Amino acid sequence: MSWLAISFEVPAEHVETVSDALLESGAASVDIADAGAGSQAEQAIFAEGGTAPRPWKRSVVSALVAQGVGVASLVEAACARAGFAAPAWRLREVTEEDWVRASREALAPVRVSPRLWIVPSWHRAPDPDAVVIELDPGIAFGTGHHPSTRMCLRWLERVIRGGESVLDFGCGSGILAIAAMKLGAACADGVDIDEQALLAARRNALHNRVQATFHSAAEALRQPSRIVVANILAHPLIVLAPLLARLTARSGRLALAGLLVGQADEVRSAYAPWFDLEALEEDEGWALVSGVRR
């Protein structure tokens, strides 16, 4: 079967909105890369978790769609949802075999820290003594390649001492909840509004042999958690501040990611009424806001 691959540049803050719109309109997969990394060498450094030469100000979104899909209307509708005009886009035809091979080659193992690795299931773990999360993301966000995900993983590694309850709000592939369990949490819940993401997360948890639970964000969350992490986007994080404060136990810890450094002050202000906020963390122009619930 032949597919069409569409690629176009998107402002970094609109990547998730555009990606969601493409998937909801029938794209089989969506991939994101740094538009600033102009050479293959730079892209390879970023894919391995190294330091990119500049922050992600613009990203290249690539979507795979079946033959016969109206490409122009698909791109226009996705960009309109994010509030900007559709840019010029590129189109090429790929076979199913080429797509599968390229998708797998693009997801290399990621070393998050000296002892934590994210490894696609078709790769061998580079370090057999490390904490290894085997991951098939499917169409869900969260492969360990993005700076926001890496910061959340390193934060979880620092704060989990053993026996805590963890909530991953906007769980995507389930990577953060799964990592929490492998790092010693007693239980981990993930919530998401995307049913495809929940399916991918459950599959990944089963593959990693952990007992994380994933369910729709519409379902009631009754008990606050000792550790809450939300890797979403700046605006939803601001809107969700009262809810995430309620879902964080007293003296519990919270981490917020998916925001650019320039958006951090507004996010911090939204959470200041409930949390004692800690020093801002940064990685390639992205920020992580964390704090302790009063």
- DSSP single-letter state for residue 25: T
Q: Per the structure block, which two tokens stand in for 184?
A: 């010693």
Answer whether 254's CB lies under 8 Å from 243's CB: no
Angle at 200 between CA 198 and CA 206, to 5 degrees: 100
- How far apart CA 10 and CA 82 sit, in angstroms, is 10
pTM higher than 0.85 for the full model?
no
Amino acid at 30: V
Torsion of CA 119, 120, 121, 123, to 10 degrees: -70
Tell how strand 116-120 and strand 187-192 pair up: unpaired
Alpha-carbon 76 to chain mean position: 24
E strands, 35-109, where? 58-66, 90-95
Buried b (16+ CB within 10 A) or exposed e, 230-243: bbbbbeebbebbee
pLDDT per residue, tens digit, the chain (294 aa), is 567 889 999 988 888 788 878 877 878 777 777 766 443 333 333 333 333 333 456 788 888 888 888 889 999 998 998 888 999 999 988 766 555 555 555 567 778 888 888 887 777 777 777 888 887 655 445 556 688 989 999 999 999 999 999 999 999 889 999 999 999 999 999 999 888 788 888 988 998 999 999 999 767 687 899 999 999 889 999 999 999 999 999 999 999 999 999 999 999 999 999 999 999 999 988 999 999 999
Cα–Cα distances in Å, from 172 out to 71, 72, 166, 247?
Answer: 26, 27, 15, 19
Q: Write out 111-164 in H/E/C secondary structure.
A: EEECCEEEEECCCCCCCCCCEEEEECCCCCCCCCCCHHHHHHHHHHHHHCCCCC
- How far apart CA 183 and CA 130 sit, in angstroms, is 11
Residue 51's pLDDT is 34
Q: Is the dihedral of CA 131, 137, 140, 141 positive or negative?
A: positive
Q: Per the structure block, which two tokens stand in for 61?
A: 């979104």
- How far apart CA 104 and CA 120 sit, in angstroms, is 8
Residue-wise pLDDT for 269-291, tens only, equals 999 999 999 999 999 889 999 99
Q: Per the structure block, which two tokens stand in for 288?
A: 């992580």
Length of the chain: 294
CA nearest to 180, candidates 272, 268, 253: 253
E strand or H helix that includes residue 287: strand 286-293
Answer whether 190's CB lies under 8 Å from 171's CB: yes
All domains of the chain in start order, with CATH: 2-106 (3.30.70.260), 110-293 (3.40.50.150)
- How far apart CA 19 and CA 177 sit, in angstroms, is 22
- How far apart CA 210 and CA 207 sit, in angstroms, is 8
Tell how strand 286-293 and strand 281-283 pair up: antiparallel
Residue-wise pLDDT for 241-267, tens only, equals 999 999 999 999 999 999 999 999 999
Angle at 280 between CA 20 and CA 176, to 5 degrees: 45
| Residue 216 neighbours by CB distance under 10 Å | 11
